[in-house]
Chain A
Amino acid sequence: MIRRVLLGSFAGLMLCYLAAPLVVIFAVSITTTRFLKFPPIGFTFNWYVQFFSDANYMDAFWLSIRLAVVVTIIALLLGVTAGFVLSRGDFRGKNAISAAFLSPLVLPTVVFGVAMLQFATILGFAHSFISLVIGHIVVVLPYVVRTTLATLARFDTTTEEAALDLGARPFTTFMLVTLPQIKSGIIAGGLFAFIFSYSNVEISIFQSRDALITFPVKLFDYVQYSLDPLLAAASAITVLFAIAAIILLDLAVGIDKALSGR
C-alpha cells in the first residue's frame, strides 16, 4: 500500500514536471503587462490578437504549414512504399536497408543540417523551399517507415490472399484490401511527419533567409533577443497545435495503439 502511494505521488510529480512549463507559457501569454510576468497580472487576449495581425509571424507560420503539408505528402508516398516492401519482400540486404531508412532518428540532426547546407550550396539551390522540403523529408521519413512496418507486422495476410485468389490484381488488392487495414498506421505516420516537420529547427535554421523563415526559426530568433508576452502567445499557439494533433491521433488510432506501434 505504502509502495503504491509513493509510486503514485512520484508519478504525479513527474506529470507536473511535464506539464509545468507548458502551463506557465499559457499563464504568461494572458498578462496585461508589457513584459513577461509570472504570475500574470490581469487577463487579456491582446497578445493573441497581436500575434495574428503580425505579418512577420504570420508569413513564417504559413510557410511552416505549407512546408509541413508538402513534406508529409511526399514522405507518406515514399515511406509507406518503403515500409510495405521492407515488411513483405524477402531479399538480401533487407535489414541493412531498413536500418538506413531509420538511421536519421539517432544520427545528429545538426550534422545532417550542415551537410544539407553544403550539398545545396554546391548544387546552387540552398536557402530555397526545395532545400527545406528535401531536408525535412529525410528527417521525418523514418517515422512513416517505422509506423508502417509496425502496422504491417500485426497484419493478417489471409484477406489479401483471398483477394488475389479471387482474381484481383496486386495493385487493386493493395488499394482495396491492404490500404484500408493499415490506414491507422498511415494516419499516425502522417501526423508524426507533419508535426516533426512543423517543429523542426536543426534543418531549417541553415536553409532560412530573410524572406524564407520558418515559424520555429522565427521563434528561435525572438527567444534570443526579445522576450515578451507576444512570444508567449506565439508559443502557446504551437502547444495548442501539439494538443490538437494528439487529440486527432487519439480519435484516429487511439493513443496507446499509436505509441505501442513505435
Chain B
Amino acid sequence: MMLTRGRAVLLLGTPCLVMLTCFGIPLGMMALSSLHSDEAGWTLANYGRIIGSAYFWGVLISTLRLAAIVTASTLILGYTLAYYIVFHLHNGIARRVVYAILITPLFTSAIVLSFGWILMLGPAGAINHWLRALGIIDRPLDLLYSWTGIAIALTYTMLPLMVLTISSVLQNIDRVLLAASADLGGGPFATFVAVTFPLSLPGVATGSLIVFALSVSAYVVPSIMSGGRHLVISMLIYQQYMVVFDFGFGAALSIVLLIVTFIIIGIYSVVLERSSSTAWEPT
C-alpha cells in the first residue's frame, strides 16, 4: 500500500515531533549553553579553556588510544569468529546456541558486565586463580583498574556488535564467487585474500565505525573498570555536570565529543564509498 503525501505527513508527524522536541531541542540548547557563561554572557571562553588545557588533551588522547585499541582487537577477534560462524558452523542448533552466547552480553547491563570483569581480573579473581592453578604465574597479575583491564572489558562489550555486523555481510556474499575462485585454482587462503575479504570490507568498515564511536563515548565500563585511577572524556563530562556543576564547560566538552563522533562518521563514509567502488560487484 503506497501512502499518499498527506497521510505520510500526518502519520510521520507525531514521531518526528517527538524526536525534535525530545532529542533535537535538548542537543540544540546544550550547544547554546556551551557558548554562554554566567560572568561573560555570550562567549567562546568555554572552548578556549578546553583548547588551552593540556589536561584535556591528555584525556582526549587516552580516550582515542583506548578506542583504537578496542576497535583493532574487536575487529581481529570478531572477524575470525564471524567467519567461523558463517562458513563453518552449519548445525542449526549449535548456531543458535552460539548466537545466544553472543547476544547475552549485549542484553545485559554494562554495569553487570563490568562487575563480572572485576571478578575476573581482581588479584584474587578468576583469571589469576586459573593462571596460578596452571602454574603459569606465581604472583597475581595486576590487571584490575589498569588501562589493560579497561580495554579487555570494553572489547568484551563491543565484540557482539562487531561479530553481528560482519557476519551479516559475510552471509550475503554470493557463494558462487567462492566456488569460481576455487575452480580457477585459488586455494582457501588465496580465495580469502582475493575474494572473501574485499567483499566483506563494507562490514569491516561499518563494524569498526560502530565500535570506535561507541568506545570513544563509553561511560559505564571505563568509570567502573578504572577504579577512579584513569579518565576518559565521558567521565570528564560527568564530573562537570554532577560534581563541579559547571554546565557551560560540560556542554562545551559534550560538543567536542559530538564533533569527534562526526569526524569518525565522516571518515567512515569516505572509506565506505571507496571500498564499495573498488569492490567488484556482480551485475
Contacts and interface: CB of A to CB of B under 8 A. Distances in A.
A106 B107 contact: no
B104 A82 contact: no
Contacts of B254: 108, 110-111, 114-115
Nearest to A144: B15
A49 B208 CA distance: 43
A79 B11 CA distance: 11
Contacts of B118: 223, 227
A119 B25 contact: yes
Contacts of B129: 38-39
B27 interface: yes
B219 interface: yes
A138 interface: yes
Contacts of B159: 14, 17-18
Interface in A74-120: 78-79, 81-82, 84-86, 88-91, 97, 100-101, 104-112, 114-119
Report, as a range, how many residues of chain A touch the other chain: 35 or more
Interface in A193-219: 195, 198-202, 205-206, 216, 219
Given A10-B84, A18-B104, A20-B120, A223 B241 contact: no
B119 A21 contact: yes
Given A7-B83, A14-B77, A91 B8 contact: yes
Contacts of A20: 116, 120, 126
A101 B217 contact: no
B81 A11 contact: yes
B261 interface: yes
A91 B217 CA distance: 34
A78 B12 CA distance: 9
A18 B22 contact: no
B98 A15 contact: yes
A19 B108 CA distance: 12
A262 interface: yes
B109 A201 contact: yes
B114 interface: yes
Contacts of B188: 3
Contacts of B164: 259, 262
Contacts of A85: 3, 8, 11-12
Interface in A1-32: 3-4, 7-8, 10-11, 14-15, 17-22, 24-25, 28
B111 interface: yes
Given A18-B101, A110-B219, A170 B258 contact: no
Contact of B19 (A4, A18, A118, A138): A138
A65 to B, nearest CB: 14
Nearest to A14: B81
B224 interface: yes
A21 B113 contact: yes
Contacts of B101: 15, 18-19
Contacts of A97: 12, 16
Interface of B: 1-3, 5, 7-8, 11-12, 14-16, 18-19, 22-23, 25-27, 29-30, 33, 77, 80-81, 83-85, 88-89, 95-96, 98-105, 107-120, 122, 124-126, 129, 156, 159-160, 164, 168, 171, 188, 209-210, 213-214, 216-217, 219-220, 224, 234, 237-238, 241-242, 247, 250-251, 254, 257-258, 261, 265
7 contacts: A15-B98, A24-B119, A90-B2, A106-B261, A118-B26, A242-B104, A259-B103
